[in-house]
A and B are shown apart, each in its own frame.
Chain A
Amino acid sequence: MTAGLIAGIGLTLAFVGFYAWAQDKGWTIKWWQWTLLILASGLLLLGVGALGTSLAEGTAAAGWLLFGMAALVAVVMGFAALRPVRAS
């Protein structure tokens, strides 16, 4: 519960900060790009969770693989979301 609250508030702040940073760069981020970014960050957090659980269970290999897969997909999604704005 507490962790969920912290993660939720933290993520909200992260997106506010990112929005400020993107505005400074002159980027215009559309709704579908926001959606992709939110999904990517959620996936990344899932990967972090899988890593944390697996390390604590003593199944590190599974955790690193899950985290790696989640991070890879999240990064690809992030690039896919931001590539159009960077190009414009």
Chain B
Amino acid sequence: MADSKVSRRDFIKGLGAAGAVASVAAVFTEASAAAKAPSAYAGWENRRGTEYFDRSRFEVAKPESYQVVGTLKRRDTRVYDSRARLGGHQRGEDAVTKYDAGDPFWADYYAKNPADGDGLPQPDTDRMLRDEWYPPQQAIVEAGAERRTEFATTGEGFLAAAWSIAYQDFSYPRPSSPPEEADWEEVSTVRGEFKSPELASKFIKGIAANFGATLCRITEAQPAWFYANGLRGVEEDVAIGDEFEIRPWWKYAIVVTRPMEFDALGADPNFGNSYSGYNPSTYVATHVARSIKALGYPSRVEAPMAGYEMFVVPFAVDAGFGELARTCNCVSPDMGGNFRQSVVLTNLPLAMDKPINAGVADFCKKCKICSEYCWTGSISMDDEPNWEEAGVLRWDVNGFTCSMGWNQVSGGDSYPENAPGGGLRGCRACISVCPWYRRTNWLHNSVRSFVANDPTGLADDFSLQFERAVYERRDPSLWLAPEMKGVHDEPDWLRTADFIKSFSDTPLGEA
């Protein structure tokens, strides 16, 4: 046997070099896979007892992302913000138009509320919004109407619209009778008494996970978060200033959630939809509620596609999903604002979860990226929460200008009948530009942990500088017609031009 030309020593050195290359390749490959794994899509790693973000370390006795500064007051959805009051203004059905015509309901409202939350005089502020602010904004809507219709019916939004409407056009049961009947309908005559509230909670969370909830937490059914009006299943609404009765069996609030489709949300305001969160979270809540009735307890669903008698965001905050953010939605450390929550009310004795302080609201004080990107200027730019409403101090979000923004992108228009454009609903851009909207992989989880665990605030500053320096977001001017781009590019599976060869008239009813 001939002597080898490679000495043992050189072989070891060569093996070492190969090992170094193998290490780099293995890490690179694994890291790439981590970005694309199904569990990397925010929220989807959250299953029974396996949440990667351990909330227990950040639990606090009471929510710290909003402050109760006065007497908590239930809000009337007909009057509580300008969006509610000015709805129907195109048809002359808004509050101030009716008030000027002598409507006693609105005369009573404006008499009792001479100033809005900013201290501006009412009804003059509502008149100003209607007569001065609205017309030029509506002109933007009208100027882009043709392009938006084309976008969704024969343009680049065709596939997104077809996908979206499938989530949207689905019915869930709504209460059609008063709570005394609806909440007790189908309740089992046999009641199962759990050995402990903890075990009952464990079972309910298991059911929620089984039906697809990515997160389920339980809190007290705080009466102040219920609307004052609009009880489902009753014929007549309450008078202004009155409140419907909180039923005694609405004791616990089981909050369930599912994220919206991650990649489509990133391509908002034109390619995503809220229904990819609304529909599944309603689905989960409906099934959890049915299961509770089978246990022998009443239940009531408060969900996007079944109707609400409450603001669900504070319930999510109280339950410890996340914190009340600058956008006034609940932003969680693991999902950002990318989720839509539903609530199940019951009196089944349950162990309650606690709210959390994981540094989200503190981060919001410095960040302001959502405010900068909202072209309607609806989100407060103030450093600290300074908007007091119904006894709660938080940041201000103008619902009226925000809803106008929805109409200026791919939502709110009247699309041709049976065309899929109605399935698109803008805009959620404040969620997709948020730094907390990131995949759940080792890279972003490290940053989340870094920010959540640093009491000095330096981690906020560092990560925010990095965020602004390297993470690109498309300029809002390109979101509106005629460009109609997203914050990020749409995902491959929603690229109409890659899938659709041509459009033609559907031969309805023919083979």
Residue numbers of A with Cβ under 8 A of B are 2-4, 6-18, 20-21, 24, 45, 48-59, 61-62, 65
Contact = CB atoms under 8 A, between A and B. Distances in A.
Interface stretch (B28-36, B153-161, B207-215, B247-255): B28-36
Interface string B442-467: 11000000000000000000000010
A48 B30 contact: no
Interface stretch (B16-24, B171-179, B185-193, B403-411): B16-24
Contacts of A61: 470-472
Contacts of A55: 32, 35
B500 interface: no
Interface in B1-52: 9, 12-36
A49 B20 contact: no
Contacts of A8: 23
Contacts of A52: 27-32, 35
Can you list the 7 inter-chain pairs with the closest CB atoms, starting with the nearest?
Answer: A17-B16, A13-B19, A52-B31, A3-B30, A10-B23, A56-B35, A10-B22
Contacts of B23: 6-8, 10-11, 14, 45
A3 B19 contact: no
Contacts of B21: 10
A16 B12 contact: yes
B19 to A, nearest CB: 3
Contact of B16 (A21, A48, A54): A21
A62 B9 CA distance: 41
Nearest to A55: B32
B338 to A, nearest CB: 15
Where chain B touches its partner, the secondary structure class is: helix
B439 interface: yes
Interface in B80-137: none
Contacts of A3: 26-27, 29-30
A21 B35 contact: no
A28 B24 CA distance: 26
Contacts of A50: 31, 443
Contact of A20 (B13, B31, B489): B13
B16 A7 contact: no
A53 B12 contact: no
B22 to A, nearest CB: 4
B15 A13 contact: yes
B22 A48 contact: no
B34 A53 contact: yes
Contacts of A53: 31-32, 34-35, 441-443
Given A20-B9, A24-B9, A57-B439, A49 B30 contact: yes
Residue among B12, B27, B34, B442 with max Cβ neighbours from chain A (10 Å): B27
B19 A9 contact: yes
Contact of B31 (A6, A11, A18, A49): A49
A11 to B, nearest CB: 5
